[in-house]
Amino acid sequence: MTSHHLKSVVRRRRLTGRTAGVLLLALLLAGCSLSAPPPAREGAPLLTPIAQQPDVPVELPTRKPSAANGAAIYAEKCAGCHGPVGHGDGERAAQIQQQVGVPPADLTADTVARASTPAEWYAVISAGRIERLMPPFSGSLSIDDRWDVIAHVWSLGSPETVLERGQAIYAGRCAACHGETGKGDGPQAEGKLIDLSDLVSYTDIAPGEWDNAINTTHVPTFNGKLDPAERAAVIDYVRSFTYDTAAVADVSPAATPQAGATPAATTAEAGVTINGSVVNGTNGAAQPGNLEGMLYYFPGGVDNAGAPITRTLTIDAEGRFTVSDLKAQAGDELAANVLFGDITYWSDVIAAE
């Protein structure tokens, strides 16, 4: 195997367009109260794009996202880790926590759901989080399918009862200006209002940021007039303008990958040896050695729903390591990490040939 320079996985926040987007929202909205301080964005690190894909471009859907289609995809590709209703308690959750030290994200928790922008949802589904054993889905899901999954995940935290409550609040406090479907065409609208039914209007704005911006600059103010649950409900209802909320009545557990399934690569006849090395990319710096790391082997590739095969790496004084007798076949992929100081460094994803 060709040696690959390991790269540091460093969290980076999407800031492009965010300040302008929040300001625009604050200036143009009128009529509904969405006031509550947002969760600290540092409280939702699980949806920050990985370092290897820091600038995933947001590709908008060609149609209205479907929560129903997203539910079917979620059951097949996501529920095994994130759980049937997104609480991070899927069949493989314990295994993932044991391997990487943290469980899959609870996708309905406020520190994730209300602190993450649509752009961040799209980026992490597209690029994955290999260091948390989440594969990228840009190669296996179309742009529309990825947005369908996002719509379903949003619906998990916004059940029909919440949307009905938000609809009632919106009708009484917002529709006169924003219109019944959020297009800014209500009878009392003054000037051009933002189209709340257009996803592009707030791709880089998190629900918690809506709360904060509207609470401080909205005219008229609704500060103190709605409790937190009411604020959350009306925000979720406004967001529902952007996707089809109809969901499937039953998500069959048969579609969820079963724990204990034998990965495809374990049945392959070929036993291979992988040789690799850790290289210090800092000019003039000493070669790191005597380190520990982990190899992750994905039968069928990282898009495959099965759990990866793992091997502990013992890296010698010269930075070299060897993994022997690994069952492999074409189409499999692998990645490796190493702990150096207090930072975990990751390789690129490498295809087995």
Average pLDDT, the chain: 74
> What are the tokens at 53?
């894909």
Domains, the chain, with CATH or none = 11-255 (no CATH), 264-351 (2.60.40)
User: Does residue 229 register a pLDDT over 90?
Assistant: no
> What are the tokens at 204?
């880089």
User: What is the rounded average pLDDT of the residues 233-249?
Assistant: 83
Read off the pTM: 0.64
User: Does residue 285 register a pLDDT over 90?
Assistant: no
* Conformational region of residue 310, where left means phi above 0, alpha means psi within -120 to 50, and beta covers everything else: beta
pLDDT of the residue at 41: 44
| Lowest pLDDT segment from 56-65, 73-82, 153-162, 263-272 | 263-272
213 or 117, higher pLDDT: 117
Q: How many CA atoms lie within 13 A of 231 on its CB side?
A: 23
Taking only the tens place, the pLDDT of each residue in 110-151 is 888 888 899 999 999 998 888 888 889 988 999 999 999 999
Query: Three-state DSSP class for 239?
Result: helix
User: Does residue 88 register a pLDDT over 90?
Assistant: yes
pLDDT of the residue at 78: 94
| Lowest pLDDT segment from 42-56, 81-95, 247-261, 323-337 | 247-261
Cα–Cα distance between 261 and 160 in angstroms, integer? 35
Q: How far, in whole angstroms, is CA 5 from its chain's centroid? A: 26
